[in-house]
């Protein structure tokens, strides 16, 4: 049975969750679509429950800046949802059978994860037992009583892993199967942050990718393509049309950007395009490059 065009369009839009004022995307398919269709990467901010001190390679969800969200909504690519209200409404609307099915799905996923951990533990224990038998048959292979101590260490490690498996909890990475996609959708808020995001909208609409530029002393790092394939071409800052730009910003930004082989870009919304309902803002931008460096 073919779905109505309106429902098909709603499913194609990317769902952005608003949680305590932060804009997050949890669904990996949505993250991939943002990167492919809207040249928007976001910033990975998630860690794994089993490794909460993870700080090198973060994972889902990704966090989007307010100006990026505003640009995506204006372009008709995404919509924003009050995630807390949506989940509360979904849980309250579940019937007894649906609640049991939801709890059963979590238990089945936990059992599957428990099985994987048990197989890994058994495999490691088998390897440790094989090494211990080899040391017993060939006492000269190891010096002192290292073999016995190693066996005790392997046993305690296996016990520790079994304890972790017993207390294992499964956190679903996405709730798209349990929460209505368009529940508690929020309108676009044209606040000061979104109005100051005109440069972001302008660059995204022209095919550039943008990431935070703090490490290079600017608000944005601007890439001509996917950051996995290209280096940034610009370091960019946005200013108001009548805002005075400190000369130190020009000197410092220009010299720093040029030193790392990039140009320093500044831009702002033109006064003739201040209507909040305009799809694409009119922006003037200037590129500054320090010569002789």
> How is 176-236 classified by DSSP, letter by letter?
TTTS-TTTTEE-----HHHHTTHHHHHHHHTT-EEEE-GGGTSSEEEESS-TTT----EEE
| Total residues found in the chain within this entry | 293
Residue where the block lists tokens 């995204």: 204
Q: Looking at the structure, do residues 271 and 204 belong to the same domain, yes or no?
A: yes
Of 166, 182, 208, which closes a domain?
166
Same domain, 209 and 156: no
180 belongs to a structural domain: no
213 inside domain: yes
For residue range 119-167, list pLDDT tens digits in order: 998 999 999 999 888 888 877 655 544 444 444 444 445 445 444 445 6
The beta strands (E) that lie in 31-171 are given as 43-46, 59-64, 78-82
Same domain, 200 and 280: yes
pLDDT over 90, % of the chain: 33
What pLDDT was estimated at residue 158?
A: 47
Phi first, then psi: give them for residue 44, nearest 5 degrees. -65, 130
Position 290 in a domain: yes
pLDDT of residue 148: 45
Residues annotated catalytic, as ranges: 223, 231, 262
pTM: 0.70
At residue 112, the pLDDT reads 86
Q: Report if residue 11 sits inside a domain.
A: no
Summarised one tens digit per residue, pLDDT across range 203-232 is 999 999 999 998 888 999 999 999 999 999
DSSP 8-state code for residue 147: H
Q: Which of 112, 134, 166 is the last residue of a domain?
A: 166
Q: Which domain holds residue 287?
A: 190-293
CATH number for the domain that contains residue 224 = 3.40.1350.10
Inside any domain, residue 185 = no
What pLDDT, on a 0 to 100 scale, did the predictor assign at position 50? 64
271 inside domain:
yes
Number of domains in the chain: 2
Which stretches of the chain score pLDDT less than 70? 1-11, 48-56, 140-178, 180-184, 187-196, 273-279, 292-293
Whether residues 225 and 272 fall in one domain? yes
Placement of tokens 């909504």 in the chain: 73
Residues 239 and 292 in one domain: yes
């Amino acid at each position: 049975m073919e779905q109505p065009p309106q429902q098909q369009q709603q499913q194609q839009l990317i769902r952005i969750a608003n949680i305590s004022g932060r804009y997050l995307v949890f669904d990996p398919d949505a993250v991939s679509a943002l990167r492919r269709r809207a040249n928007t990467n976001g910033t990975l901010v998630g860690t794994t429950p089993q490794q909460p001190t993870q700080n090198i390679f973060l994972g889902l969800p990704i966090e989007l800046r307010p100006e990026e969200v505003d640009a995506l909504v204006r372009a008709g690519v995404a919509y924003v949802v009050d995630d807390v209200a949506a989940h509360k409404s979904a849980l309250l609307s579940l019937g007894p059978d649906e609640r049991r099915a939801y709890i059963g799905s979590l238990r089945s996923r936990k059992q599957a994860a428990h099985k994987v951990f048990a197989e890994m533990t058994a495999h490691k224990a088998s390897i440790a037992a094989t090494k211990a038998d080899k040391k017993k048959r060939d006492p000269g292979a190891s010096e002192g009583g290292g073999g016995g101590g190693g066996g005790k260490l392997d046993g305690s490690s296996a016990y520790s892993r079994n304890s972790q498996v017993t207390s294992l909890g499964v956190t679903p990475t996405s709730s798209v199967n349990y929460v209505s996609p368009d529940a508690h959708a929020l309108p676009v808020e044209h606040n000061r942050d979104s109005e100051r995001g005109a440069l972001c909208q302008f660059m995204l609409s022209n095919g550039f990718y943008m990431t935070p530029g703090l490490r290079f002393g600017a608000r944005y790092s601007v890439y001509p393509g996917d950051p996995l394939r290209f280096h940034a071409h610009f370091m960019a800052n946005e200013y108001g049309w009548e805002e005075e730009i400190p000369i130190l910003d020009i000197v410092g930004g220009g010299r720093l950007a040029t030193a790392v082989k990039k140009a320093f870009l500044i831009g702002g919304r033109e006064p003739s395009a201040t209507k909040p309902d305009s799809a694409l803002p009119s922006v003037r931008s200037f590129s500054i490059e320090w010569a002789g460096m």
